[in-house]
A and B are shown apart, each in its own frame.
Chain A
Amino acid sequence: MTRRLFAFLALLLLPCLAAAQDRVVNVYNWSDYIDPYVVQRFTRETGIRVRYDVYDSLETLEGKLSAGRSGYDIIVPTSEPSFARLLRAGALSPIDRARIPNWRNLDPTLMARVAEIDPGNRHGAIYLWGTVGLGLRLDRIKAIAPDLALDGFDVLLKPENAARLARCGIMVMDSPTDVLPSVLRWAGRDPNAHSLEDLRVAEQALMGIRRHVRAVLPSGSILDALANGEACVALTYSGDVIQAQARAKEAGRGVEIGYVAPRQGAQLWFDMLAIPADAPNKDAAYDFINFLLRPDVMAGITNHVRYPNAVPASLSAVDAAVREDRNVYPDEAMLAASFVASTPPRDIERARSRLWSRFKAGR
């Protein structure tokens, strides 16, 4: 709820700051995923008014774009599945890099990983990125299962562990594309092999813990649940756990949150700055992307939302506590072990979503 409130407040503030200007950029981003001050600064420096709108699931974003004429100039789809899918659908505009001088600030190794999806990086720049892992409520887990080693996905995926922690709330984010690859990796399978047999392995692993899972929710709701202390174990995005951690600390009610990335190698994801093919204000969109890729601006965003960015020059201005947090910025070894999920063929995709429905339905 707090997230929505923040987003709502941000929306309320924006119009007062930039009245009576004719240049506009329509931004559609994840909720609570920017430093609101950055948006004000952009308007002050460029005179371009920002209409800022938020979504809390990729489904909402894709649903709007699939209907056509969404009216947005900037969208922030996640590399897999949405960015890849929109790319295939021809829904994204190629980006003219000459219009974005700050493009050179982008980390070439990270961009190379996105190039597996978008050859030549023609349609998007990395905004923020992260891993998929487990948010843990450490104070409760220590009380219930003091001997449990909290070092990887065994905490969730071994049925005996899940059974012990079920009482204090196990949650899984409602996104097969973000959950199944990590489950396969845990089971020692190649997450990108896309075979029916692998899917059966993943299904078995998930069904083994199904009755211990309290809720399967969108990631935004999981963040709230973690911060409130409702969830003991939550499979979700790294940055959401770290935000929940900070929020729980602020609330000061003894809720202690930690993040654990899978030992076998975490799934990496990238949220991409992209321009819809039918964007009405492409010029303003270029200016907005260029502004976001400035090191000082990016540092402000990372400090605020605690997700790593892809502009290495911003690091010196990122708070040491955020920069040195290995859960925010994984170390070399973790990065080397990490993987990027690829798009399965259509029949596997359907089998996968059916598996997911069965997992949710518990049958």
Chain B
Amino acid sequence: MGDGIGGAAFRVIRRGILLAPLWAWLLMLVAAPVLILGVMAFATPSDGVPPFTLGLRFAAFAMLVEDFYYAEALLAALRLAATTAGLCLLIAYPMALGMAGVRPAWRLPLLALLMLPFWTGFLLRLGAWIGLLRDEGLVNHLLRGLGITDEPLALLYTEGAMLAGMVHAYLPFAVLPLFTALIRLDPALLEAAADLGARPARLFFSVTLPLALPAAAAGFLLVFIPAAGEFVIPELLGPPEAQVIGRVLWQEFFQNRDWPLAAALALALLALLILPIRWFQRLGAGV
């Protein structure tokens, strides 16, 4: 086998079978939901079950453009996502460097330690942050016990609390791709550079950093994309003024029961996220 028309057909069929789960996934969990959102975005909100009537109405999209509230929420979400992803990269880079630098026998235990907190539920970990940061919480007790403050500091429901929660939740997504790239780095390249007289700082900036750039971009995006739509962390830890798109979506869907507007908003977020993904593809191809 392997030659002639029969062989080619066989390869096509085999590839089809191998790709079938991927296609099923894309159709059911990507295309179908987007299609449903698309239909819903043009519907008219009404009192009923479900709370809209189908139609072809552009009011939801018009509202997104007319009312700056939505643009501001989108911007706030992108800003939060970029800050989170940036902080994650800053923390993840030394972590990944360290993990890649140890003897191979140590790598797996370190990896396990990185993942260990994620065996506890997401909400439980956020609950722990609330326990730490509230007025009567651990941090404030400690500060008062040490005589640093007499009044409890307002830590919970602040930008800082929200960022801490975000970075905590998304950090592994930044560490893992960097770690994988850094352990694959050819030591011969570093040795060659060192032989040519490069000092450690130069080694890092001229060899390690550029070679791991696609991985850093992947880590950034793996954090950025889910962080842009995040609802729970700003809701539980953030200040009321952190009206990111996730919270606004929730409000439109549940509080205002304007499902068409919520759908239009979700589509707008999706469209906005396509840009950074394209940027990443270019970066990946360029290096």
Chain A residues near B241 (CB, 8 Å)? 360-363
The smallest beta-carbon distance between B185 and chain A, in angstroms, is 45
Stretch at the interface among B20-28, B48-56, B191-199: B48-56
Known: A353-B251, A353-B255, A360-B240. A214 touches B47 (CB 8 A): no
A88 at the binding interface (Cβ < 8 Å): yes
Chain B residues near A139 (CB, 8 Å)? none
Chain A residues near B239 (CB, 8 Å)? 215
Partner of A63, one of B72, B154, B253: B253
The smallest beta-carbon distance between A37 and chain B, in angstroms, is 28
Q: Is the CB of A167 within 8 A of B151?
A: yes
Separation of A262 and B286 alpha carbons in the complex (Å): 66
B159 at the binding interface (Cβ < 8 Å): no
B257 at the binding interface (Cβ < 8 Å): yes
- Please report whether the interface of chain B is mostly helix, strand, loop or mixed according to DSSP: loop
Q: Is the CB of B240 within 8 A of A63?
A: no
Q: Is the CB of B127 within 8 A of A1?
A: yes
Q: Is the CB of A361 within 8 A of B243?
A: yes
Q: Is the CB of B240 within 8 A of A362?
A: yes
1/0 contact trace for A19-44 toward B, CB 8 Å? Answer: 00000000000000000000000000
Q: Is the CB of B240 within 8 A of A215?
A: yes
B157 at the binding interface (Cβ < 8 Å): yes
Give B35-77 interface residues, CB cut-off 8 Å to A: 47-51, 67, 69, 72
B230 at the binding interface (Cβ < 8 Å): no
Q: Is the CB of A215 within 8 A of B157?
A: yes
The smallest beta-carbon distance between B248 and chain A, in angstroms, is 7
The smallest beta-carbon distance between A357 and chain B, in angstroms, is 6
Separation of A1 and B251 alpha carbons in the complex (Å): 23
Closest to A276 in B: B49
Q: Is the CB of B240 within 8 A of A66?
A: no
Q: Classify chain A's interface size.
A: 35 or more
The smallest beta-carbon distance between B193 and chain A, in angstroms, is 51
Partner of B240, one of A90, A169, A349, A361: A361
Give B149-191 interface residues, CB cut-off 8 Å to A: 151, 154, 156-157
A354 at the binding interface (Cβ < 8 Å): yes
Query: Which among B49, B157, B256, B258 has the greatest number of chain A C-beta atoms within 10 A?
Result: B49
Separation of A361 and B134 alpha carbons in the complex (Å): 21
Q: Is the CB of A229 within 8 A of B135?
A: yes
Separation of A309 and B55 alpha carbons in the complex (Å): 45
1/0 contact trace for A185-225 toward B, CB 8 Å? Answer: 00000000000000000000000000001111000000000
Give B230-272 interface residues, CB cut-off 8 Å to A: 239-241, 243, 248, 250-251, 253-259
A-B contact pairs, 21 of them (CB 8 A): A59-B254, A62-B254, A66-B49, A67-B49, A88-B47, A89-B47, A169-B135, A176-B255, A215-B157, A215-B239, A229-B136, A350-B256, A353-B251, A354-B67, A357-B248, A357-B251, A360-B240, A360-B243, A361-B72, A361-B241, A362-B240
The 4 closest A-B pairs by CB, nearest first: A59-B254, A362-B241, A216-B240, A361-B243
Other than the known A59-B250, A66-B51, what 18 A-B pairs have Cβ atoms closer than 8 Å?
Answer: A1-B127, A62-B254, A63-B253, A66-B49, A67-B50, A68-B50, A169-B135, A176-B255, A215-B157, A215-B239, A228-B136, A229-B135, A230-B135, A350-B258, A354-B67, A357-B243, A357-B248, A361-B243
